[in-house]
């Protein structure tokens, strides 16, 4: 018997297992680099479930024969877990577009198809197993081409619809993200990995449709290649979770008297210049009312325009407000502002104390080197 394919799959499985464990460890260790803990733990869950749990059931179902019922059960479990990770991945993709904003239509549609798929798989005749030859002893290593899973009509249709629409959604989302991102390096990696992953999904669609084991083996191999690429991307480019969903247009520091201590603009595009005229009017009005809100409980912390949010962080103890103009207010932006404020307070503690008195002359030239702090904390957007 030819064990070439079996051996290749076993070796590939252990390589993915080792890489997945390392990726989970690295993401957990550097979880602060992924924007928020929510994003980090979503990625940890997705990588662990797909790289270890799903891959284990997938490999055992096609390489090691236990019994007809057990192998069918393992194949079904691998499909359910795999489809679950697709739903989690769709949430992560939606976060790339707008953090914590999930578009209801595709997600509800995917969830509905997923529920129909679970219902179809529960049926005893949803998937049957055929062997090329007599059943081998239990726990025998098999040539995967001798094990074939046959889908009934209902399971095939629901599975194909789920795979097809979610693959289209991934490709569409990756293309939109790539098109709107200023720096293409991070979005190019996401787009390339999405294309590779989509090829594996096409192989699974062909297997469900044609019932040829070759497409199943290609599906597994290409899927593991995409896992490898995604794991490397997650380890090497955690900053993509900062860059892709967010754009920062300017950082401004207002003294409680309304004087601008420092201002830094990130973007000089035509769209920015057009919109900045509106923002400028708002900021002029804002600096007049900051002093009214500095010592009050209820404060304006965000002003929304059509294309941007003006986010305000008040530092009452130090007598100033940090104002950031961004495409959206979210936890990532607030964490960046918090860390910047801490460094700014530490570096300019004495100067800020000196100008607490509103009658004292303020020399804004003393704050010119704030640029170094801006570039340190917001370097991904410069």
Q: Are residues 225 and 342 in the same domain?
A: no
From first to last of the 382 residues of the chain, give the pLDDT tens digit: 567 888 999 999 999 999 999 999 999 998 888 877 888 898 999 999 999 999 999 999 999 999 999 999 999 999 999 889 988 888 888 877 666 666 677 778 888 888 998 999 998 889 999 998 888 898 899 889 899 999 999 999 999 998 899 899 889 888 888 887 766 776 788 889 899 999 999 999 999 999 999 999 999 999 999 999 999 999 988 877 777 777 888 898 988 877 888 888 886 554 555 455 555 556 656 655 555 555 555 666 777 777 788 888 888 888 888 989 888 887 888 888 999 999 999 999 888 888 877 677 888 888 888 999 998 888 777 6
Question: Under DSSP, is residue 130 helix (H, G, I), strand (E, B) or coil?
Answer: strand
| DSSP classification of residue 359 | T
pLDDT of amino acid 44: 94
Amino acid 216: pLDDT = 94
Residue 271's pLDDT is what? Answer: 52
What range does the domain containing 266 cover?
248-381
pLDDT value at position 344? 93
Do 27 and 96 fall into the same domain?
yes
Whether residue 238 is found in the same domain as residue 256:
no
| Same domain, yes or no: 32 and 162 | yes
* Domain shared by 223 and 258, yes or no: no
* 217/340 same-domain check: no
End-of-domain residue from the set 215, 243, 271: 243
Given 223, 243, 263, which residue is the final one in a domain? 243
* Residue 374: other Cβ atoms inside 10 A: 21
pLDDT at 15: 95
Look up the pTM and report it: 0.77
pLDDT of residue 92: 82
User: What pLDDT is stored for residue 23 in this prediction?
Assistant: 95
Tokens standing for residue 377: 């904390």
What pLDDT does 270 receive? 43
In this prediction, residue 225 carries a pLDDT of 93
Q: Phi-psi region for residue 139, left (φ > 0), alpha (ψ -120 to 50) or beta?
A: left
Is 125 found in the same domain as 103? yes
| Sequence-ordered list of residues with C-beta below 8 angstroms from that of 230, at least 6 positions apart, any chain | 47, 193, 197
pLDDT at 93: 81
Condensed to tens digits (0 to 9), the pLDDT of residues 124-178 reads 889 999 998 888 898 899 889 899 999 999 999 999 998 899 899 889 888 888 8
CATH number at residue 328: 3.30.450.70
Residues 60 and 164 both lie in one domain = yes
Select from 106, 105, 96, 97 the least CA-distant residue to 39: 96
From CA 196, how far away is CA 230, in angstroms rounded?
10
Domain boundary among 183, 213, 243: 243
Total tally of structural domains belonging to the chain: 2
Based on the fold, state whether residues 191 and 315 are members of the same structural domain: no
What pLDDT, on a 0 to 100 scale, did the predictor assign at position 266? 81
If asked whether residues 198 and 264 sit together in one domain, one would say no
Task: Give all strands (DSSP E) within 64-123, no chain letters.
Answer: 64-65
Q: Per this entry, what is the length of the chain?
A: 382
Residue in this structure with the two tokens 């900021």, named with its chain if needed = 283
Do residues 205 and 274 share a domain?
no
- 29: CATH: 1.20.1070
């Amino acid at each position: 018997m030819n064990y070439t394919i079996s051996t290749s799959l076993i070796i590939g499985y252990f390589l993915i297992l080792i890489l997945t464990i390392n990726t989970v460890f690295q993401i957990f260790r550097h979880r602060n680099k992924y924007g928020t803990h929510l994003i980090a733990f979503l990625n940890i869950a997705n990588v662990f479930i797909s790289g270890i749990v799903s891959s284990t059931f997938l490999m055992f179902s096609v390489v090691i024969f236990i019994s007809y019922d057990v192998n069918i059960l393992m194949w079904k479990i691998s499909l359910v877990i795999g489809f679950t990770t697709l739903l989690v991945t769709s949430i992560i993709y939606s976060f790339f577009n707008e953090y914590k904003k999930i578009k209801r239509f595709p997600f509800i549609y995917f969830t509905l198809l997923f529920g129909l798929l679970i219902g179809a798989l529960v049926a005893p005749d949803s998937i049957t197993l055929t062997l090329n030859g007599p059943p081998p002893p239990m726990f025998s290593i098999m040539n995967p081409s001798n094990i074939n899973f046959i889908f009934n009509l209902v399971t095939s249709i629901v599975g194909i619809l789920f795979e097809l629409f979610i693959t289209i959604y991934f490709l569409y989302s990756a293309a939109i993200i790539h098109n709107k991102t200023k720096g293409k390096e991070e979005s190019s990696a996401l787009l390339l990995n999405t294309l590779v992953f989509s090829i594996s999904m096409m192989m699974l669609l062909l297997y469900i449709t044609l019932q040829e084991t070759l497409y199943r083996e290609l599906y597994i191999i290409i899927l593991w290649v995409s896992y490898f690429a995604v794991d490397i991307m997650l380890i090497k480019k955690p900053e993509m979770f900062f860059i892709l969903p967010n754009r920062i247009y300017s950082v401004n520091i207002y003294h409680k008297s309304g004087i601008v201590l420092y201002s830094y603009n990130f973007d000089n595009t035509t769209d920015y210049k057009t919109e900045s005229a509106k923002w400028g009017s708002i900021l002029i009005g804002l600096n007049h009312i900051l002093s009214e809100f500095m010592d009050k409980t209820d404060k304006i912390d965000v002003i929304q325009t059509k294309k941007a949010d003006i986010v305000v962080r008040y530092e009452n103890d130090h007598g100033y407000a940090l104002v950031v103009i961004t495409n959206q207010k979210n936890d990532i932006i607030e964490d960046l502002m918090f860390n910047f404020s801490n460094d700014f307070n530490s570096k300019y503690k004495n100067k800020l104390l000196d100008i607490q008195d509103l009658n004292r002359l303020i020399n804004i030239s003393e704050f010119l080197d704030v640029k170094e702090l801006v570039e340190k904390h917001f370097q991904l957007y410069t």
